[in-house]
Structure 1
């Protein structure tokens, strides 16, 4: 993945979001060919020469100082996540950030941990949202139509972002699909910026850009956001509506793996529905292959 191109793209998208008037500038005279700030205007706001900024945006000027990057972040009114992303793109070769080429595996102790929480939907994810492991309830909630042992086989391993855009069952599961899709794209952008040499991330982006016009449109806007906590609304084919909180917790084991956990508010309808889904795990309805038929039956006509 060409980081300099990504840096220029990011800067251009953020320039396009600001008007000169919003930044307290008098617009340059003449017809404006592009929306938002011109390069010269952003350079003025950041206190650098227009020539230097142009070279930076075009990828011809490496090793920008902290002062320059901070000035650009202020001028562009970047969020904390966007500022971190700017640094990642401007300085891709950071010590300790090695590319991930071989399929990852969840540690046995981590698998043991999530299996010890039978009433909590849980999954272990890698940096690109591949599912490395899930407990029975996590499988039943997120992808009951898939083989529960699929995370054990790298060739068949589910990827939550790929499922969100390309799998009709997963799309129907997410009641706020567009919001969840934007969140997933923003998180993937952050991961790609942090690990520009990771071929698996590049392959995922390429596949989604080709097979999903919706992904391609969202990706082109270059959204960036760390999505470690939040809420999701599900339309589960077995237990109906679920409003769940999620947390994505990094594991302190020297990997870039994360623990994804879901919970429902106590004594809420969602808590009751989650308990009902938990109850199906001992009946053979979930986690044994028959759930796949239930999911398939619930997908509306025309979604396949």
Structure 2
């Protein structure tokens, strides 16, 4: 029997919900973490037999009503709910690529007008399609890779560069899973997924959790080899003219040590100098 993506997602998500979170009284020894199958069925108002068929892949076409009930039972956020609908075939997966490689010239001009704000545009495969000068300096001129998933999971310096590496890793995988759900047949997304599964046990463990959500980190803490620690707030925007592309812009709090460090980084980047 081959378990469907829908069944795998349901299994992974119920393991993340405790009985207490679902307002259920827990009794007896629990062999698995999270909710039992019968508890999810009860919360969603479906028979236990039907729910088991969903998890086992023997039932793959639940109604929208059932999927909505399952999303509530599993306490999914909006990204997770939309992902569940897509897996159930009720919200069409996009047929577009990971995100066209062409970046609007006017958007590039806008990014270049932010000398003190690192800005990047990436696609669903997390390939960086465009970046301004200070972003290049922040990410070490992309000497390891211009794919953010590879930067996080295969760059030996990543655990030092990202001071909260685990949080960054969890959110990166959840975002990548969301993009994969939107375009599961896209060859570039599948290539990146294959590479990460082959070369990063840490990615493989997080991928098995089936988290799916958009950018969740409002702040990131970096440790840059040239200017030291930086705490930056990031804002993420969908590029409406190019579905699948996202723009991320970083900034530092006014009058902060991070603002001074970012200004120094911008100055070094603009002049091509090394720190004294």
Q: CA deviation at 1:281?
A: 2.2
Aligned structure 1 segments of 4 or more residues deviating by more than 6 angstroms: 26-29
1: distance between equivalents of 2:143 and 2:90?
A: 36
How far off is 1:60 after superposition? 3.2
1:44 pairs with one of 25, 42, 45: 42
Partner Cα distance (2:200, 2:35) in 1: 30
Distance change >3 Å, CA 64–CA 115, structure 1 → 2: same
TM-superposed deviation, 1:187: 1.0
Matches within 5 A, 1:162-173: 162-173=150-161
Separation in 2, partners of 1:110, 1:116: 10
- Residues 1:5 and 2:24 are matched in the alignment: no
Structure 1 stretches lacking a partner, 5+ long:
148-156, 295-304
Q: CA RMSD in A?
A: 2.7
Check 1:12–1:126 CA distance in 2 against 1; reply closer, same or farther (3 A cut). same
- The answer on whether the counterparts of 1:182 and 1:218 sit within 8 Å (CA) in structure 2 is yes
| Distance of aligned partners of 1:244 and 1:20 in 2 relative to their CA distance in 1, 3 Å threshold | closer
**CA shift for structure 1 position 205:** 1.6
Q: Residue in 1 aligned with 2:130?
A: 133
What's the counterpart of residue 249 of structure 1? Answer: 237
Residue deviations 1:93-121 (CA, integer Å, cap 9, x gap): 617x1141796222222222211222211
Pick the aligned partner of 2:254 from 241, 247, 266: 266
- Residue number in structure 1 paired with 2:169: 181
Partners of 2:171 and 2:217 within 8 A in 1 = no
| 3-state SS, counterpart of residue 98 of structure 1 | coil
Partner in structure 2 of residue 302 of structure 1: none
Distance 1:163 1:92, change over 3 A: farther
Instruction: Give the CA deviation at 1:142.
Output: 1.6
For the pair 1:239 / 2:227, whether they are aligned, the reply is yes
> Which residue does the alignment assign to 1:297?
none
**What is residue 270 of structure 2 aligned with on the other side?**
282
- The CA distance in 1 between the partners of 2:151 and 2:218, in whole Å, is 19
Which residue of 2 is the match for residue 118 of structure 1? 115
Secondary structure of the residue aligned to 2:234 is strand
- Aligned counterparts of 2:163 and 2:268: Cα–Cα separation in 1: 22
Counterparts of 2:262 and 2:26, CA distance in 1: 56
CA distance in 1, matches of 2:123, 2:52: 36
